[in-house]
Amino acid sequence: MSRRNKLEKFAQLRTFPHVYENFDVKAPQLYRQGEAVHMQGRWHEHFGNEHPIALELACGRGEYTVGLARRFPQRNFIGVDIKGARIWKGARIALEEGLNNAAFLRTRIELIDHFFAPGEVAEIWITFPDPFLRKSKANRRLTAPLFLERYHRILAANGWVHLKTDEPLLYEFTLEVLAHNPHFSLQYCDNDIYSKPLPLPELALKTYYEHMHLEAGKTIKYVRMQRKGG
């Protein structure tokens, strides 16, 4: 993608009413349409309803966020990613289709608990994230203990975290983390979800990259964990 194309997309994002951006990791301030806004504890005001809020972390082009918003109009979805040029595609589609239950947040996921209040989020989806295969980068995996601590702070009691991946290392790593985690309990896992009836209708959604993984003969793995109550 050319620099000019990226800059055009960044400029368009700043005109979208359903896109919020954080430009400085050292200053967790959000902006919408060029104006500073405070959204922690106020996301229901954006959606204009009290429907449950789900996040898709590392949403990329927002395919899952948009797909979930289409299928479940009584739920609200926020796609989160640092790459504005990627978010642009999903945000544009949501705008064109009038999906008022879809929004996007451009930020580093390490800051996620700065932008949501305790208990504000009902569930989190992590779909095909970077597995960071090097052991030295294990703490950057989105199911690493430090990330689970952040999710614990913003999830409602008994809220869910879903991981969908093609990477065996990330799947096994997540199960190992959960075996010793004080904040979450493992509720379901499957190392080949399409070999049997799906446990959730949301899992039927397939992203561009998931289609590629399946064509390459990879199996899709799924983990569902639940925040411990209280």
- The separation between CA 72 and the C-alpha centre of its own chain, rounded to angstroms, equals 16
Indicate which residue of 24, 81, 113, 130 is catalytic. 130
- CA neighbor of 49 nearest in space, from 15, 24, 72, 30: 72
- Annotated catalytic residue 192: no
Q: Catalytic positions, please?
A: 130
